[in-house]
Amino acid sequence: MKIISAEFVKSAFKPEDYPSNSYPEVAFAGRSNVGKSSLINTLVNRKNLARISSTPGRTQAINFFCLNHRIFLVDLPGYGYAKVPVEIKRQWKPMVEAYLKKRGRLKLVVVIIDARREPSTDDINLMEWLRFYKIPVLVVLTKIDKIPPAQRIPSKLKTQKILHLDDRQIVLFSAVTGEGKDELWKKILENL
């Protein structure tokens, strides 16, 4: 997809704060520090559209980014990071679940997993939750530039097996090299 414009629109904590237009939405979910912001920035060819922090757990609201006045990319708070205060974690779950269950414009959830790790219990639980609510999902294995090429396919196959995915539901991606960007855009656009 050729990006003409990409802009941060707003942060939201509850449904009445969501943007009111009718553009389709693609949400990005994953553990804290898995590379969600870097992935979004790479997709839109910007360095700082989604804020990148060296401290995991910084995304604490649902952030909406509008592309080409046609589509929203939605950055959800990361999960699984122990140093985020318990009270904030408690607020994230109902906030994210309300968005995922009730947002009619949501067309796809991109679940991001570090290719160097097996899916965590949190990743597995999220996938099961999304399946239960029949929300379309695509898994992206990030940071593939950090593993040898010979380990990429085994990592992909292991993740597919653990998460019960077929080959169309998973993409290998590197925000550093841009590998997988075109394939990821293709799969996102197929779901709109």
* Domain CATH code at residue 75: 3.40.50.300
Global confidence as pTM: 0.91
The model's pLDDT over 12-64, given as tens digits with 9 standing for 90+, comes to: 988 999 998 889 999 999 987 888 889 999 999 988 887 654 444 445 789 99
The yes-or-no verdict on residue 88 having pLDDT over 70 is no
Is residue 1 in a domain? no
The model's pLDDT over 132-179, given as tens digits with 9 standing for 90+, comes to: 999 999 999 999 999 999 999 999 999 999 999 999 999 999 999 999
Is residue 180 in a domain? yes
For residue 74, list its beta bridge partners: 27, 64
Angle at 12 between CA 54 and CA 21, to 5 degrees: 125
Is residue 55 in a domain? yes
For residue 65, list its beta bridge partners: 8, 73
User: With bands split at pLDDT 50, 70 and 90, how would you rate the model's confidence at 93?
Assistant: confident
pLDDT of residue 89: 53
- The domain of 85 spans 6-190
User: With bands split at pLDDT 50, 70 and 90, how would you rate the model's confidence at 75?
Assistant: very high
The structural domain count of the chain equals 1
Is residue 103 in a domain? yes
Dist CA 18 CA 25 (whole Å)? 11
Dist CA 177 CA 35 (whole Å)? 14
